[in-house]
Amino acid sequence: MELHKPSYYKHFRCLAGECPDTCCAWWEVPVDGESARRYAVLPGDLGEALRAALTADEEGEPCLKLTGGKCPLLTPEGLCALQLREGEGAIPAVCREHPRFSYDYGAVREMGLCASCPEAARLILAENHRLDPPEIGADPPLSDPDPLLFPLLDARQVAIDLLDAPAPLSARLRAVLLFADALQALLDEEDLTAIPGLCREWRARFPTSKGGQDAFAPETGEALPPRRAVLEKCLAALAGLEHLREDWHTLVTDRRALSAPPPEETMGARAAAYFLYRHWLRALNDGDVLSWVQFSVLGTAAAAALAPLCGGFAEAFRRFCLEVEHSQENLDALQDFFWDDLSLPEALSLAGAPEEDGPAGG
């Protein structure tokens, strides 16, 4: 199996007690079967505390119930009592792995870091997105490659390269949306053989100077709606999702967010690239690239809008990921929103700076 990892993956180290926002709070801690069996016979006060905290989630799977919104094993110093006493191997598998994620796509496994973690978010925003050279893992491929897998990987690289182009971020985001719209048309027509040609066409459009953005963000001939109205609509969609923390709803309903400046050029592009890397290949399961590109633009725009309210872009980006990316129900609800309630002109408007409202790509 081919392994893909972003360049920052290998640099992650848990901040433990120094973390400004521990992951040992706010959500129940799933307990894998092997760990649950170990805890059933763990002696002493720690074993008794573990067994008292064990419960079952809505699916009947074992988990540790929270105490005052935090894992019952979290010490006042922000450390794990179980890890301190028994070592890292004793903690539940999810605690050993978080914030790492991995998705298997038959012949390819993609690995990364969840931006909901403060240290992961810092690493993600510290450098432009790039992948380390692919590795060949010990596990055999789970299945024969989906014929769409490698064309989609090539197309994703085109999208990420567009984000690195020397043009204003608004133009780059609009270009990614227009490229995804063209790609979506081929997917809808099941014309997979045309994808390499589309990728070559868009690579040829890459601008070579800051004045060249029109070469890859062509006019659509359709006037765009006001960005402020689109942003308000998108924040209302976020407000309607399930939320992990009560202050999230307060943030996304704060009218001051509508007056925030657009994303900072560098961190905005890096946030969008993170979303593309993590979500683009969902199209292998649902055939829907365009929605996940719209998700990338929404996440980037929402982080910029909320940045003045929660201490800057990095923290707003992290909070968006914390509230949205760990809930399949929220991801499904946003995909429905993109299908039913957000048009391409609206998404293009959301990508652009407020003063750029007008024809697409203008």
Of 23-37, 111-125, 236-250, 258-272, the poorest mean pLDDT is in: 23-37
**∠ CA 300-304-307, rounded to 5°:** 130
108 DSSP β-pair partners: 2, 105
Tell me the chain's radius of gyration from C-alpha atoms: 22
Angle, in degrees to the nearest 10, between helices 328-341 and 313-324: 100
Q: What percent of the chain has pLDDT over 70?
A: 92
Confidence tier at 362 by pLDDT (50, 70, 90): very low
The sign of the dihedral angle between the CA atoms of 352, 335, 115, 311 is positive
> For strand 62-64 and strand 54-56, is the pairing parallel, antiparallel, or unpaired?
antiparallel
- For residue 218, the model assigns a pLDDT of 46
Spatial separation of the C-alpha atoms in residues 155 and 179, rounded to whole Å: 9
70 DSSP β-pair partners: 25, 67
3-state SS of the chain: helix, strand, coil percent to 5?
55, 10, 35
For residue 104, the one-letter residue type is D
Residues 18-68 have pLDDT tens digits of: 888 888 888 788 899 889 888 989 999 888 988 988 888 888 889 888 888
Secondary element (H or E) of residue 108: strand 108-113
Q: Over range 213-222, report the average pLDDT.
A: 50
pTM, to two decimals: 0.90
